[in-house]
Amino acid sequence: MNAELQGRVVAVTGASKGIGLALVRALTAAGAQVIAGARSVDGVQVPGATFLPLDVTDEVSVQAFADRAAAAGVDALVNNAGVGAFMPVQDITPDEYHRVMDTNVKGTLLVTRALIPHFQARHAAGQGSQVVNVTSDVSNRTFANGALYTASKYGQRAMTHALAHEGQGYGLRVTEVRSGMVDTYFAGSQPGESHKADWLKPEDVADAILYALSVPARVRIDEILLHPTVQEVAYP
Ligand code: NJP
């Protein structure tokens, strides 16, 4: 249990596997109630968490998720849902463009905007709120084959910063969590593949998010950047 997280209500997107599922487990173990969403939640169970079907690209689905989260008294949203795709510029099809941008950028926008009225109402009642956006270590640099993914993460980062500016007026603390390579299902891979043995574990990123959520209300963690030690040192 964690005194700062006891009794908190946290909404997590992309919660069916990878970083999101590790975060749900960490949050419930720390005493928080979790509203967890992803497209495939059948059979996914964590005591203390409510799993709901959620497609972050779909306004109707997002509104239903946000309504349930608001009714539960959510005080923090973690926009973690995301997809990765890596190819040279000439191979980026319009379909693939929409899949990646709609999930990573529009998805973050839709879920966040659906909960802002609730966060503003909390502020009016003297309560603060938090948004944590899981972007990427490459949310401000790029590389060959990275055009589409990094464009989406640059966009998500820009939205994170703008929200931080706006949210300061209504008691919203905003954090960007920028992780390097993590051993998940990301970009069509499988956990445990041998080349990922020394990458971050989903629990490592979950711990970073947990830290941002558990600091006292006087502290705002603007950004956390973490990498596996095997990844080349890279600063913006
Ligand atoms: O990936 P994965 P990660 N609506 O594939 C969900 C960032 N990141 O945990 O919908 C709702 O294991 C999907 O669930 P489902 C990355 O950009 C990672 O690594 O059932 N949910 C699943 O729960 C992303 O933002 C690395 O398919 C949707 C989850 O998202 C975040 O970390 C490096 C959805 C993805 O789980 C979590 O990714 C980095 C939708 N439309 C940043 N589409 C890395 N792993 O190396 C997908 O820099 N999901």
pTM of the model: 0.99
- The tokens for 86 are 């890596």
Centre of ligand 1 to C-alpha 179, Å, is 12
Supply the pLDDT for residue 1.
63
Centre of ligand 1 to C-alpha 82, Å, is 4
**How far apart are the C-alpha atoms of 108 and 115, rounded to whole Å?**
11
Contact by Cβ (8 Å): 49, 213 = no
Contact by Cβ (8 Å): 138, 94 = no
Residue recorded with tokens 């239903």:
64
Supply the pLDDT for residue 4.
87
Which of the residues are catalytic?
Answer: 149
* Pocket around ligand 1 at a 6 A CB cut-off: 13-20, 38-40, 54-57, 80-84, 103, 107, 134, 136-138, 179, 181-182, 184-186
**How far apart are the C-alpha atoms of 98 and 28, rounded to whole Å?**
34
Supply the pLDDT for residue 2.
79
Contact by Cβ (8 Å): 190, 199 = no
Could you list the pLDDT tens digit for every one of the 236 residues in the chain?
Answer: 678 899 999 999 999 999 999 999 999 999 999 999 999 999 999 999 999 999 999 999 999 999 999 999 999 999 999 999 999 999 999 999 999 999 999 999 999 999 999 999 999 999 999 999 999 999 999 999 999 999 999 999 999 999 999 999 999 999 999 999 999 999 999 999 999 999 999 999 999 999 999 999 999 999 999 999 999 998 87
